Structure formats: C-alpha cells, structure tokens
Amino acid sequence: MKFPDVHRILAYRPSRRVTISIVVVVGVCVVVVGASAAVRTTYYDRILPHVTLGGVPVGGLTQGEAITKVQAAYDTMLTNNLALSHNGSTKTVGLRVSSDESSYALLDMDVPTEVARAFGVGRYSNHKLESQIFPMLHSLGIRSENISANVTTREEQLTGIIRDAFPDIETSMMPTDFTFSDTDGAITISPAKNGTAIDFDRFFLTLHNDVGDLMLTPQIIKTTTLASDISTDDAKTLLDAASKALSAAPYTVAYTSENRTEPETWTVTKMNLMDWLVPSKNDNGSLVLGLEKEKMTGFFTELHDGIDVDAQNARFSMTNNVVQEFAPSHDGVTVNNDATAQAITDFLGTENTEILVMVDVVHPDVTTETVNNLGIKEILGVGTSDFKNSPSNRIKNIKHGAEKLNGLLIAPGEITSLLEKLRPFTVEDGYLPELVIKGTEIKPEVGGGLCQIGTTTFRAVMNSGLHVVERRNHSLVVSYYNDPSNNNPGTDATIYDPSPDFKFENDTANYILLTTEVNETDKKLYFTFWGTSDNRKASYSPPQVLSWSGYGDPVNTETDTLAPGVEKCQAAHPGATTTFTYTVVYADGTTHSEDFFSSYRSLPKICLVGKAATTETLPSDTTSDVTESPITTE
C-alpha cells in the first residue's frame, strides 16, 4: 500500500487566488447570515414578506392584523353564498346557519390556526441553513409562499340544504324484491327500478379544491345512477327458501339475564316476514335470503326498550375534602341489531323453538374499586360563566349537560372530549330543541346552550393548569361568554357535533374529579377540578380586543314558511379579533406559555320575510333559545 507524502501535505500552501476566493465566500456567508438575522429581528412578531393565505396578502402583518384581514375575506365569501346549477337550473344557498350561541358556517375555517401556519413560513425548518436563509429570500422577493386556506365542510348539513334546494333531482332506487299475496301466500318477484342520486362525493371534492382561495365559483350538481345488484332471475332462485321461511313462522326470539327469573320473549310472525324478507347477498357475494333491517326498526326498538341498560361509571362527590361515593359502577348491555338479525336469518325455515337475542356488554371506564386510589384531596381550579337572560330551554340544556359531567373521573394522561361525554344530542337523551334560521326556513335544532359547558370547562382547565389539546372560539361575539375579568370576548370555547370539539389532558400524576354546579339564582355555572396539587401555578391574562369590525347591511330573504309580511330575525353581531396568554409555571421552575388568538366574524341582521304563498305558519310568539340573539318577530 502506498501512503501519501506527509511532508508534502504539511508543506502545502494555498495560492493567493484561492485565498482571496475563500475570503470572499466567507465574507458573503457572513453578510448573508447577518442580513438574515436582521430580517428575523425585523419580522420577529410579523409574517415574513411575500406570504399569502387563501389569496390574501399577509406578509409583514402581525398575527392579529393578519387574522382581521383574513377573517374579512372569509366573511365576504360566506356573505356571497354558494351558487349551484343543475341542467340549466341555478340556485343560491346560504352558507351561514343562525344557530346555537355561535352561529355556524357550512364552510368552516379556523382563522387563527391558519394565520399561525402563515406565521411559521420560513421560520421552522429541520435544516438550520434553510431557517437562516429563507427569511432573507422572502424579504428580497426571491422566495414567496401562497398557502391554500384549510376550509372544512359541514357535509351533513350542506347535503340537506342542497337536497332542499333541488328536491326533484334524486329518485329512489327500487331493489329487486318479493311480493307476497295476503290471500294464498303466493310469492312473486318485483323487478328492480333504477334511481338517481346526487354525486356528493364528486361535489365535495370539487368544492374542497375550489375553496382554498376563499373565492367560490359556481358548483355544478352531477348525479349518478343507482341500480340493484340482484336481478329478477337471481331472486327467483330464492323463492323456495322464502316459502319455507313463511311456512315455519312464527318464530320466538328470547333474552335471558341474571336479573330475570324468566326469559323475556318476542314473536316474529308470518306477517313480519312478509314485510322484512328480501333477496340479498352475503359478504362473499353469494345469493341468500335476508332481512331488510330498515323495516325492522319497530321490532328493534322493542328489543332495546326491554333489554338495554347503560353502563354506569362510578361517580363521586367531595365532602369535607373527602371523596364520597354516590353512584356505584355497573356494566351495561345493548342489543346488537346486526347480529340479532343474522341470528333470525340463520333459523329461517327451521323448527327451532327459540332464537337468542344477541347483545354486547358495555364496561364502565371507572369502577367503584378505584375510589381508594384516586388521590383526590384538594381543589385544583374553578371555571365560571354567566348565563343570565338565557331562555328556559337553553337553561334546561345547560343543566342536563352539567349533570352528565358531574362526578366525572379522569385518569392520569387521559384526554377528555366534551362531545364524547355529552353525546347523544337528542331529545330522548334529555336535550331540548330550539328554533334556528337555516337557509330560507326556520327549523328546530337540538342542544342549544352547550357551548356554555365548553366555555366553563375551558376556564376551569386553565385555572387548574391542565393541558389544552383542542379549542376553538365561537364564530360570533356572544355576551354570555365575555370574560369575568374585564367583560371582553376571547376566553370562550365552542362545541358542535361532530366538530369543533373541546379537549383537554389530565397531565398530572393523579386522577382528577370534575364537579359541576348550576346556580339558577345568580345564573352562574361553576366547574371545579379536584385532585392532588403538584404545586404548578396557572393563570391567564385578561383578553384584549385587537380590533372590531362592522356587521354590514341587513339581509332579508323571502320564505314560504311564514305568513305574509311576518318577519323573524337574527340580530346583528360585530366582528372582533382578540388575544390572551395562558401561562403555567411548574414546580421545577419551567414555564409553559401559550397565546390564544380568537377571531369572531361579523354577522349582519338576517330576517326571513313571509311571502304570499305559504305552506306553514310558525307561532308569532316563538323565539330562539339556540341563537344567542333570539329570533324575534318584528
């Protein structure tokens, strides 16, 4: 092996030209790094130049200024509504629903979060050199960034509004079916009939691709054909099986449990089967005799009413700083509709005397046995809010939601979702409906007032020093949620199924207990977290309003759901941008500080005005409890 000549290497001296080149390169690097540092200093609290968000130039703006500007563009898009066309017919649908305390948009945008994305451009990179150079490149205009706005669609609500706007587009598909004669029991085949459906998958994909610049173009409604996957000839092969199934009727369906001395039974009659039986295919694609579960709703309701038992978490209260059990835990049980229908199907045509109802056991999350290991002994923090002047249904919803949370135990490291704990949002569960303006109609929606729960929980979480996982402010400035410290908006949290949600984490080493109090005398809501203090100190600054904006001209829309000349209105709301800082100082001296920006859109006064042709008339004294500014007759 030949080794290099060490003496020659040591004796090497670069030429004068090479030395000058190195000096020049080093000098340029120093200048670049210095210039980049100067740019970063200039824009330390501002978005870098040549950055746009949703087509809105935000370069050089603070986050608060950018929020105000982007919010205005977003509001304009909502105000302009959405144009839809199908086969030469064009209609315009509104994108705002005056509902709940926040009023929600069908195209939803978290403006502060999107602006935070724009603020991060050119600042955060896995490559140190990029984070040094990119700010300068932006300042020189060599580099730019156009961020598409992340706008989500409330597909369920928009789907209903589109169907209301074009009620004649969709036609039902009639699948291949059996027809039973009431006189002689003869079975014939009803051939399938194709149907038509709006292609919502294509519609929402196109809309998603279009909305990123906050400028909507007219959307074309396309349709698809619905066809049965079972032919008449296929169904004929199942005629013998259907005949045997009817001949063996009736069938007995039974359920037994430890709490019942005798099994409870239900009967499936021949008439039931004549309504339920359908030709179908199993998971392998083979032709089988099946049951149409949509027509079995009444039967399943009877089973659930007679069998279902909710699982019960152990729930506790505090007395003299001691945890007291006031509701023991127990398992729940619920009927499994699919498995029960399959069990019935498996025994069709047999002489089986009893078919068992299929159930699922539901276990509680917190059992009574955990009470001795909770480590709950002191108050961690309290959150409060004011629901003065709330309508009666709103107060009842607040009380019901608070009751569902009272005594909630949260394990160390557990992330709690309010939506998950408060569901289902139904009248059957105990929530009450309120009237809302939706497009050109006034319709009931269930659960108004639950954002009072979200706001109170948010404040209790911050006063306890817990980790906020997910929080959105309301769409509108609502007096119910002004902060107790200075009566400014900014410390609220909205919830609306399926989103947005409010989530928080128990990042302590022990269980925490939530207790709730609804004081109807002073119209205050109090949420208290109990646990074992780890000596963290938490606080949040009084919210500051960075800007206010006007709400524009009133919007009047004719409707045939009100009597001629009758008006029902949603009051106007000004827009605003606010901020506050949440700070937690831990026992080891480390500090977590988080700025919360809130952007509230402006909402003009919206009125529905009854026109000559009416289909129904709402009572003139009806008001909305869901909207924070009641829908009133003027």
Task: Quickly state the pLDDT bin for 230 (edges 50, 70, 90).
Answer: very high
- Helices and strands of the chain, counted as H and E runs: 15, 40
Pairing verdict, β 51-53 and 145-147: parallel
* DSSP for residue 372: G
Share of the chain above pLDDT 90, in %: 56
- In the predicted structure, residue 629 carries a pLDDT above the cut 90: no
Q: What is the pLDDT of residue 620?
A: 39
Number of domains in the chain: 5
Instruction: Looking at the structure, tell me whether residues 185 and 65 fall in a common domain.
Output: no
Q: How far is CA 133 from CA 21, 126, 147, in A?
A: 21, 13, 20
- Please name which of 633, 608, 607, 603 lies closest in space to residue 621, comparing C-alpha atoms: 633
Domain stop point among 183, 204, 226: 226
Q: What is the pLDDT of residue 3?
A: 47
Per the domain annotation, does 422 fall within a domain?
yes
DSSP secondary structure, 554-570, as one string: -EEEEESSS-TT-EEEE
Question: Are 611 and 575 within 8 A, CB to CB?
Answer: no
Q: What is d(CA 473, CA 494) in angstroms, rounded to the nearest whole number?
A: 6
Is the pLDDT higher at 409 or at 118?
118
Q: What is the pLDDT of residue 21?
A: 58
The contacts found for 481-487 with CB under 8 angstroms, 24 or more apart, are 481/101, 481/385, 481/451, 481/452, 481/455, 483/542, 483/543, 483/580, 484/384, 484/385, 484/386, 485/542, 485/543, 486/542, 486/543
Print the SS3 string covering 601-634: CCECCEEEEECCCCCCCCCCCCCCCCCCCCCEEC
Per the domain annotation, does 94 fall within a domain?
no
Per the domain annotation, does 90 fall within a domain?
no
Q: What tokens were used for 208? A: 């998603």
Per the domain annotation, does 381 fall within a domain?
yes
Share of the chain above pLDDT 70, in %: 82
- Please name which of 520, 530, 532, 534 lies closest in space to residue 315, comparing C-alpha atoms: 530
Domain stop point among 337, 362, 387: 362
Instruction: Looking at the structure, tell me whether residues 1 and 132 fall in a common domain.
Output: no
Is the pLDDT higher at 105 or at 126?
105
Q: What is the pLDDT of residue 441?
A: 62
Domain stop point among 317, 332, 362: 362
Q: What is d(CA 316, CA 466) in angstroms, rounded to the nearest whole number?
A: 21
Q: What tokens were used for 234? A: 């296929």
Q: What is the pLDDT of residue 14?
A: 58
DSSP secondary structure, 114-141, as one string: HHHHHHHTTT--SSHHHHHHHHHHHHHT
Instruction: Looking at the structure, tell me whether residues 187 and 61 fall in a common domain.
Output: no
Q: What is d(CA 43, CA 277) in angstroms, rounded to the nearest whole number?
A: 70
Question: Are 385 and 518 within 8 A, CB to CB?
Answer: no
- In the predicted structure, residue 634 carries a pLDDT above the cut 50: no
Q: What tokens were used for 2? A: 């030949």
Instruction: Looking at the structure, tell me whether residues 294 and 353 fall in a common domain.
Output: yes
Task: Quickly state the pLDDT bin for 506 (edges 50, 70, 90).
Answer: very high
- In the predicted structure, residue 608 carries a pLDDT above the cut 90: no
- In the predicted structure, residue 369 carries a pLDDT above the cut 80: no
> 287-311, pLDDT tens digit by residue?
999 999 999 999 999 999 999 998 8
Instruction: Looking at the structure, tell me whether residues 125 and 252 fall in a common domain.
Output: no
Q: What is d(CA 270, CA 522) in angstroms, rounded to the nearest whole number?
A: 60
Is the pLDDT higher at 97 or at 16?
97
Per the domain annotation, does 606 fall within a domain?
yes
Instruction: Looking at the structure, tell me whether residues 529 and 583 fall in a common domain.
Output: yes
Task: Quickly state the pLDDT bin for 29 (edges 50, 70, 90).
Answer: low
Q: Which domain holds residue 198?
A: 155-226
Q: What is the pLDDT of residue 551?
A: 81
Per the domain annotation, does 368 fall within a domain?
no
Instruction: Looking at the structure, tell me whether residues 578 and 593 fall in a common domain.
Output: yes
Question: Are 530 and 580 within 8 A, CB to CB?
Answer: no
Question: Are 190 and 179 within 8 A, CB to CB?
Answer: yes
Q: What is the pLDDT of residue 555?
A: 82
Question: Are 592 and 472 within 8 A, CB to CB?
Answer: no
Instruction: Looking at the structure, tell me whether residues 329 and 183 fall in a common domain.
Output: no
Q: What is the pLDDT of residue 419?
A: 96
Task: Quickly state the pLDDT bin for 364 (edges 50, 70, 90).
Answer: confident
- Please name which of 434, 473, 469, 432 lies closest in space to residue 455, comparing C-alpha atoms: 473
Question: Are 561 and 441 within 8 A, CB to CB?
Answer: yes
> 402-450, pLDDT tens digit by residue?
999 988 889 899 999 999 999 999 998 999 987 665 555 656 778 778 8
Per the domain annotation, does 530 fall within a domain?
yes
CATH number at residue 296: 3.10.20
Question: Are 536 and 586 within 8 A, CB to CB?
Answer: yes
Q: What is d(CA 420, CA 318) in angstroms, rounded to the nearest whole number?
A: 24
- In the predicted structure, residue 13 carries a pLDDT above the cut 80: no
- In the predicted structure, residue 201 carries a pLDDT above the cut 80: yes
Is the pLDDT higher at 86 or at 312?
86
Q: Which strands form 96-98's sheet, in the order they lie side by side? A: 104-105, 96-98, 433-438, 441-446
Instruction: Looking at the structure, tell me whether residues 538 and 587 fall in a common domain.
Output: yes
Q: What is the pLDDT of residue 329?
A: 79
Tell me how crowded residue 81 is: count the other CB atoms within 10 A of its CB: 17
> 92-101, pLDDT tens digit by residue?
988 887 654 4
Q: What is the pLDDT of residue 443?
A: 67
Task: Quickly state the pLDDT bin for 104 (edges 50, 70, 90).
Answer: confident
Q: What is the pLDDT of residue 604?
A: 83
Instruction: Looking at the structure, tell me whether residues 265 and 176 fall in a common domain.
Output: no
Per the domain annotation, does 438 fall within a domain?
yes
Instruction: Looking at the structure, tell me whether residues 319 and 421 fall in a common domain.
Output: no
Instruction: Looking at the structure, tell me whether residues 127 and 163 fall in a common domain.
Output: no
First to last CA, the chain: 101
Is residue 224 within a helix (H) or strand (E), and if so which, with residue range? strand 223-226
Q: What is the pLDDT of residue 626?
A: 35
- In the predicted structure, residue 131 carries a pLDDT above the cut 80: no
Pairing verdict, β 408-410 and 512-519: antiparallel
Q: Give me the chain's average pLDDT, please.
A: 85
Q: What is the pLDDT of residue 126?
A: 57
Assign 329 to helix, strand or coil.
coil
Chain centroid offset of residue 119 CA: 26
Q: What is d(CA 32, CA 129) in angstroms, rounded to the nearest whole number?
A: 11
